[in-house]
Structure 1
Amino acid sequence: MDKKYTILIIDDKSENLHYLNTLLNEKEEYQVRATTDSNFAINSSKLNPPNLILLDIKMPNLDGFEVCKLLKKEENLKDIPIIFISALDDVQSKVKAFEEGGVDYITKPFEKEEVLARIKTQLNIFESKKTISNLLEQQDFFLKKIIHEMNTPLSIISLNIDNLESNLGYKEEFETIKASSKSLSSIYNDLYYLSKKEKRVSQMSHINLMRFLSSRLAFFDEMANVKNIDMSLDIHEEFDIFMDSYELERVIDNTLSNAIKYSFEDSNIDIILEKKEDFYKLEIKNEGIQIADTKVIFNAYYQQKDKNVGFGLGLNIVKEICDKYEIEIIVSSINNQTSFTYIFPENLIYKGNR
């Protein structure tokens, strides 16, 4: 039967190597490599990585802590679980072992069942991590595939609806289609943000918030019209902020789209820009379904149990961006009156000439 897992043992005591080698060879799923030479172990691991390493601490030339540190620097070895094996039983040694990257610590003299149980546990954890990593890679590929497939039909829908409206004139059905298209477009932009956020470089610029909000209100106009919602922009203080416009768009669009989605028909959404004492704020208020717990709505895929309310990934993205810029978020939802308030830190406010 083929051996499934390769376990590397590094210990300067040959009697320890012999004992562990004999113990592990009783299990058919283990293939054992053993050495007293730390440098040889490191070099051989680079060429032929094991699945798990049992590593002694007190060794000549290189101690176990230094060996672990060197192994963790190698890209193809950094995730391999390392279990320290040592006669040292003090707290400081154990803490240092975990700080250097060890996943477990077994003290000598060895207990057969303990050694086998700890190795099995760490291999199971390692396999689970690999499975999760593979799933995340597949998810990333799937996400990028969806983004690619969504872009073209969204553009075609938008173009053809505009052409039909030019030829046939205004029709309520066109408004509904355009509103749905805008909703899909907002979802598309959230997915695009998620797929690119690790590699994307922020493009910082001075943004006049009043003009920016006006353009986003125009974008969501059809969505609001379908529910006969009146959106008003109330400017008490006009100011500019210094941030990435695409990230600002994700914050504004997700807040507005949720406000429209969960507002009652024939209601109002108020967007207020003002300065209060020594801080600048943006507040978006709507009349609609009350949020039961404002503390958890920024969790990804949050669903409100008693009502058909779910915020997906949008508000999770909002929270992530606001945390990046240290923008404070205050959410209030009482008696079907909900408000999202964004308080901008001083370093984001642009005080130059507009």
Structure 2
Amino acid sequence: MDKKYTILIIDDKTENLHYLNTILKEEDFLIRATSDATFAINSSKLNPPDLILLDIKMPNLDGFEVCKIIQEDEKLKEIPIIFISALDDTQNKVKALNMGGVDYITKPFEKEEVIARVKTQLKIFEGKNTISKLLELQDFFLKKIIHEMNTPLSIISLNIDNLESTLGYKEQFEAIKASSKSLSSIYNDLYYLIKKEKKTTEEKNINLVRFLSSRVAFFDEMANIKNIDIALDINEEFEVFMDVYELERVVDNTISNAIKYSFENSTIEITLDKEDENFFLFIKDEGIEIADINAVFQAYYQQKDKNIGLGLGLSIVKEICDKNDIKIEVSSQNNNTIFKYIFPQNRIIKGEVKI
């Protein structure tokens, strides 16, 4: 450990403070030791330690009460707490860990054990801090990508439409539009990941026939590049009550994946139907089978030897479906893959749907 860590020891026994202070200083830790729990809490708020060794049986405030106060403080709650006590019963150990303690050392202290446990928890703490910093950098990076992608995508779409209206249909324009739509789908996934915690969910009745027709039209150029026909089959008309943007991420990612993995000159079938009392949407493609159905919804999962996409789309689909209680069934065999989304009854608006 390159950093010089500060350890706060709270114990009402002077001999324990002296012993722990001595053995930990030998390991080049900075030590703050006190028998006054209230003073320890107040000083920590001004100058937080990296780890706390906390006795359980103390006058005025016992260790459990001190731990509770620390856990409720936004500035201190991440500090690892190792309980130290002469109480060696299971009940106290379980309570200490349930209170938020990361470890439990019983008295009388063994020097090697104390040092090993302290170093282990500091390494874990250091790892958590590293992960936290990496997540902050990832968040910044994604926000930067989103910002940089938005304007070029808008310019490409606007100019290709202008060129097509001037020069007429050209196959190259279709390829550019398809690539633009693919980037747009990636952009929307990244936008969802960044904004999902802050975005207010706006649920409303969604006419699925109109909605699916608009998504099929959106992916038309991408499908045409591989000469794929997208067939929309409405066996049962119904509306669903949910956030439009979330439904769009589910449908768009499923259609986008279907196009990517479909064979050329094939058909993608999108069907609305009802079976017993279950209203569902299923999307079927003819193409490369899914090698591992259990892993397909994991973030960053990519099929072996098929380096396609970022591996984020289906993890977003799973997250949204779980949030909305939408059941997902996936089958993939004989070059046919089906994603079936079964909507819960409380999200279905039944009856004839007017288009």
Shift, 1:24, TM fit: 1.5
Distance 2:228 2:300 in 1: 26
Distance 1:300 1:146 in 2: 18
Shift, 1:12, TM fit: 0.7
Distance 1:307 1:11 in 2: 59
The 1:235/1:302 distance shift into structure 2, 3 A limit, reads same
Distance 2:41 2:227 in 1: 69
Q: Does 1:26 align with 2:57?
A: no
| Number of the residue aligned with 1:206 | 205
Q: Does 1:122 align with 2:151?
A: no
| Number of the residue aligned with 1:233 | 232
Distance 1:146 1:311 in 2: 14
Shift, 1:352, TM fit: 7.3
Unaligned residue ranges in structure 2 (runs of 5+)? none
* SS state at 1:303 partner: coil
| Number of the residue aligned with 1:282 | 281
Distance 1:72 1:353 in 2: 54
- Is the CA contact (8 Å cut-off) linking 2:253 and 2:317 kept in structure 1? yes
Distance 1:176 1:313 in 2: 24
Which letter maps to 2:93?
K
Which letter maps to 1:16?
N
| Number of the residue aligned with 1:162 | 161
Give the stretch that moved more between structures: 304-313 or 240-249.
Answer: 304-313
Shift, 1:311, TM fit: 6.2
| Number of the residue aligned with 1:142 | 141
Q: Does 1:330 align with 2:345?
A: no
Shift, 1:293, TM fit: 1.6
Which letter maps to 1:7?
I
Which deviations, in whole Å up to 9, do the C-alpha atoms of 1:261-286 show, x marking residues without a partner?
Answer: 11111110110001111110001011
Which letter maps to 1:284?
I
Shift, 1:351, TM fit: 3.6
Which letter maps to 2:15?
E
Shift, 1:74, TM fit: 0.7
| Number of the residue aligned with 1:299 | 298
**Where does 1:175-194 land on structure 2 (aligned, <5 Å)?**
175-194=174-193
Shift, 1:338, TM fit: 0.8
**Where does 1:1-354 land on structure 2 (aligned, <5 Å)?**
4-28=4-28, 30-308=29-307, 312-351=311-350
- Is the CA contact (8 Å cut-off) linking 2:237 and 2:351 kept in structure 1? no
- Is the CA contact (8 Å cut-off) linking 1:11 and 1:56 kept in structure 2? yes
Unaligned residue ranges in structure 1 (runs of 5+)? none
The 1:3/1:244 distance shift into structure 2, 3 A limit, reads closer
Shift, 1:214, TM fit: 0.4
Which deviations, in whole Å up to 9, do the C-alpha atoms of 1:21-40 show, x marking residues without a partner?
Answer: 11112222x11111111111
- Is the CA contact (8 Å cut-off) linking 1:10 and 1:36 kept in structure 2? yes
The 1:281/1:353 distance shift into structure 2, 3 A limit, reads closer
Which deviations, in whole Å up to 9, do the C-alpha atoms of 1:65-101 show, x marking residues without a partner?
Answer: 1100100111110000100000011111111001001
The 1:295/1:213 distance shift into structure 2, 3 A limit, reads same
Distance 1:280 1:183 in 2: 29
Distance 1:255 1:189 in 2: 14
Which letter maps to 1:13?
K
Normalised to the residue count of structure 2, the TM-score between the two structures is: 0.97
Give the stretch that moved more between structures: 298-307 or 187-196.
Answer: 298-307
Give the stretch that moved more between structures: 93-102 or 293-302.
Answer: 293-302
- Is the CA contact (8 Å cut-off) linking 1:298 and 1:315 kept in structure 2? yes
Shift, 1:350, TM fit: 1.8
Distance 2:298 2:159 in 1: 37
Distance 1:306 1:206 in 2: 41
- Is the CA contact (8 Å cut-off) linking 2:228 and 2:259 kept in structure 1? yes
Which deviations, in whole Å up to 9, do the C-alpha atoms of 1:169-202 show, x marking residues without a partner?
Answer: 1000000000000000000000000000111110
Distance 2:297 2:10 in 1: 47
- Is the CA contact (8 Å cut-off) linking 1:304 and 1:310 kept in structure 2? no
- Is the CA contact (8 Å cut-off) linking 2:300 and 2:312 kept in structure 1? yes
Normalised to the residue count of structure 1, the TM-score between the two structures is: 0.97
Which deviations, in whole Å up to 9, do the C-alpha atoms of 1:220-266 show, x marking residues without a partner?
Answer: 00001111111111001110000000000000000000001111111
The 1:311/1:249 distance shift into structure 2, 3 A limit, reads same
